[in-house]
């Protein structure tokens, strides 16, 4: 007599395959977006900044697959070029906040005591500031553009990364292998650099990938508010904002195309990140 217990886990292979399908699609989208950004000038069919007032608000056509905007610029080309700043911004944010956050977290967890307490308090204070508000304030003070919001947002993302990394570093530090290395006489610097950091790296990658999506939305919002890149730059957030008047004129393509690009990219990166985190 044989019986099988009913359970959703009965066919784990099939479940895995199902999960893998969504992740694969998301991964392909991420790769495509990155490739498009890297090769943007070669892929774009038109000069993204070529104004052609006679051809404004052109409908979909073979020459202009997504139509043109209020100045007659090719929307597809602007979307393709816009992927560069739209990806570069969040990338800088996660690289800077990841590096600073991890350095703070690991040194706080390793040194402990008053240093850990001080770092934790500073991070708590920083955490209390909504990142977007901080970035807007900085942009207002130092002028709009690419750099100011990105630097401000990098700062705002430090506590998000650092909190997770500090907890992980504390857990890692308490493992017996770290004590074994200390008994071997290795310096704290050696242990952190050669053992702690490499073991924390997978977690950092996951955190960074999750933060990437958030940073992209935040930067798009800043551009939308007019505090990021300035026209005529092609940037997805800016394109959503600039498309607004056209919506009233009955031509929503620009805002929709840019918004769809933001949403698809964010979702794809987040799906991949969540999948990595689940491992």
Partner 1 sequence: MSARPVDGDDGAMGALLEFDHLRVEVPTPVGPRPVLRSVSLSLFAGEAVGLVGESGSGKSMTARSVLGMLPGAATIGGAVRFRGTDISTLDATGLRRLRSRDVAMVFQDPRATVNPVRTIGDFLTEVLRERGMSRSAAVAVGAGILADIGVDDVPRRLKQRPYELSGGLLQRVVIAAALAGEPALILADEPTTALDVTTQEEVVAILDEQRRQRGTALLFISHDLELATAVCDRIAVMYAGEIVEILPAKSLHEDARHPYTKALLRARPGSVPPGERLQTVPGTPQSGIEAPSGCVFADRCPVAEADCRTTVPLLVGGVACHLEVP
Partner 2 sequence: MILEVTDLRKVFRGDFVAVDGVSFAVPVGGSLAIVGESGSGKTTCARIVAGLERATSGTIQLDGLDVKSDRRARARVVQMVFQDPYQSLDRRQTVSACLDEVLAFHTGLGRAERRSRIGELLELVGLDQRHAGVLPRQLSGGQRQRVAIARALAPSPRLLILDEAVAALDVSIQAQILNLLVDARAATGVGYLFITHDLSVVRHVCDEVIVMRRGRVVESGAVEKVLDAPTADYTKKLVGSIPRPGWVPARGGTRA
Quote the DSSP letter at residue 68: B
For position 279 contacting partner 1 by CB under 8 A, the verdict is no
Identify the three-state secondary structure at position 74.
strand
Count the residues in the chain.
Answer: 279
Q: Which of 127, 97, 121 is nearest to 108 (CA)?
A: 121
**Residue span 13-42 as binding mask against partner 2, x where in contact by CB under 8 A, dash where not:** ------------------------------
For position 278 contacting partner 1 by CB under 8 A, the verdict is no
Rounded to 5 degrees, φ, ψ at 182 are -65, -40
**Is the Cβ of residue 117 or residue 267 nearer to partner 2 in the bound state?**
117
At 146, list the tokens. Answer: 């690419």
Handedness of CA 222, 224, 226, 228 (dihedral sign): positive
**Is the Cβ of residue 250 or residue 279 nearer to partner 1 in the bound state?**
279
| Binding partner of 183, given partner 2, partner 1, none, CB within 5-8 angstroms per partner class | partner 2
Rounded to 5 degrees, φ, ψ at 99 are -65, -50
For position 113 contacting partner 2 by CB under 8 A, the verdict is no
Least spacing, CB of residue 202 vs partner 2, in Å:
10
CA distances from 73 to 11, 81, 93, 129 (A): 53, 12, 30, 39
Q: What angle do CA 117, 123, 128 make, to 5 degrees?
A: 130
For position 141 contacting partner 1 by CB under 8 A, the verdict is no
Rounded to 5 degrees, φ, ψ at 68 are -125, 165
**Of residues 170-199, those binding partner 2 (CB under 8 A):** 175-177, 179-187, 194-195, 198-199
Radius of gyration of the chain (CA): 23
Among 1, 54, 62, 248, binds partner 1 (CB under 8 A): 1
**Is the Cβ of residue 46 or residue 195 nearer to partner 2 in the bound state?**
195
**Of residues 10-69, those binding partner 1 (CB under 8 A):** 10, 12-13
**Is the Cβ of residue 34 or residue 181 nearer to partner 2 in the bound state?**
181
Residue 214 contacts residue 230 (beta carbons within 8 Å): no
**d(Cα 65, Cα 44) in Å, to the nearest integer?**
11
For position 5 contacting partner 1 by CB under 8 A, the verdict is yes
Residues touching partner 1: how many (CB under 8 A)?
A: 12
Stretch binding partner 1 (CB under 8 A), from 1-9, 25-33, 84-92, 200-208:
1-9
Which residues of this chain interact with partner 1, rule CB under 8 A?
Answer: 1-10, 12-13
The contact set with partner 2 (CB under 8 A) reads 175-177, 179-187, 194-195, 198-199
């Amino acid at each position: 007599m044989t019986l099988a217990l009913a359970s959703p886990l009965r066919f784990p292979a099939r479940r895995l395959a199902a999960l893998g399908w969504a992740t694969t699609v998301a991964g392909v989208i991420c790769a495509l977006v990155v490739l498009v950004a890297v090769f943007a000038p070669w892929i774009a069919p038109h000069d993204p900044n070529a104004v052609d007032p006679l051809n404004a608000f052109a409908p979909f056509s073979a020459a202009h697959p997504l139509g043109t905007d209020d100045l007659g610029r090719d929307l597809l080309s602007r979307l393709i070029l816009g992927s560069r700043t739209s990806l570069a911004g969040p990338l800088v944010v996660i690289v800077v906040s990841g590096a600073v956050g991890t350095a703070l977290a690991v040194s706080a967890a390793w040194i402990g005591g008053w240093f850990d307490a001080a770092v934790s308090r500073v991070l708590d204070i920083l955490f209390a500031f909504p990142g977007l508000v901080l970035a807007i304030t900085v942009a207002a003070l130092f002028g709009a553009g690419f750099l100011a919001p990105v630097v401000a947002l990098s700062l705002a993302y430090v506590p998000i990364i650092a909190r997770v990394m500090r907890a992980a570093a504390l857990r890692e530090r308490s493992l017996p292998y770290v004590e074994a290395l200390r008994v071997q006489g290795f310096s704290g610097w050696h242990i952190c650099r050669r053992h702690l950091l490499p073991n924390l790296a997978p977690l950092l990658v996951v955190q960074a990938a999750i933060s990437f999506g958030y940073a992209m939305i935040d930067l798009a919002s800043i551009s939308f508010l007019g505090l990021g890149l300035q026209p005529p730059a092609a940037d997805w957030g800016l394109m959503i904002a600039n498309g607004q008047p056209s919506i009233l004129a009955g031509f929503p393509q620009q805002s929709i195309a840019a918004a769809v690009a933001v949403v698809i990219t964010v979702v794809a990166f987040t799906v991949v990140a969540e999948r990595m985190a689940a491992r």
